[in-house]
Amino acid sequence: MAKALLQHTPANCHAREMLARVGDKWSVYVIHVLGGAGTLRFNELRSRVDGISQRMLTVTLRGLERDGLVVRTVFPEVPPRVEYALTPLGSTLRQLVCGLVEWSGAHLPEVDAARAAYDARHGRPNA
């Protein structure tokens, strides 16, 4: 049985925003780390997301929180303690993220070979 073609609707056009969110450089990484670790404080999360700046982590977490994927909990302490965790909705996305991570690991040698072949054809030094 053939699949029905996806019809252009306002709802699936709006989905482009979510694809942009999960397709950015850091969101998938943050979702993966939080899903594996559970609840983390900001600096714990930053230390586990290699290469992210404090500013970029803040921006990423705000976007994920706005989209309902991450919950931010502030504890009334001095100094304030803030923790981040995936929401149930974020956990459903993490299932897909795990699939991407597994695919990446399984196919990395093929991607490396394709890159090397491309670079050789186009006279680029190996990166």
The answer to whether position 121 is within a domain reads: no
pLDDT at 125: 74
Tokens of 73: 């909990």
pLDDT given for residue 11 in this prediction: 63
pLDDT for residue 123 is more than 90: no
pLDDT, one tens digit per residue, over 78-103 is 988 999 999 999 999 988 888 888 89
77 occurs within a structural domain: yes
Question: Minimum mean pLDDT among 19-23, 99-103, 105-109: which range?
Answer: 19-23
Q: Can you give the pLDDT at residue 64?
A: 95
Closest CA to 18 of 7, 6, 5, 31: 31
Asked whether residue 127 carries a pLDDT value surpassing 60, the answer given is no
Report how many domains make up the chain. 1
pTM of the predicted model as reported, rounded to 2 decimal places: 0.77
Residue 117 lies inside a defined structural domain of this protein: no
* 64 is a domain residue: yes
Domain assignment present for residue 37? The answer is: yes
Would residue 36 count as lying in a domain?
A: yes
Q: What is the pLDDT of residue 98?
A: 85
Return the minimum-mean-pLDDT range out of 16-20, 64-68, 115-119.
16-20
Quote the domain boundaries for residue 80: 10-91
Does the pLDDT at position 76 exceed 80? yes
Whether residue 80 lies inside any domain: the answer is yes
pLDDT at 88: 96
Q: How far apart are the C-alpha atoms of 16 and 67, rounded to whole Å?
A: 13
> At 42, which CATH number?
1.10.10.10
Residues of the chain with pLDDT > 90: what percent? Answer: 62
**2 Cβ partners below 8 Å, 6+ apart?**
none
Structure tokens at 65: 């929180």
d(CA 41, CA 85): 9
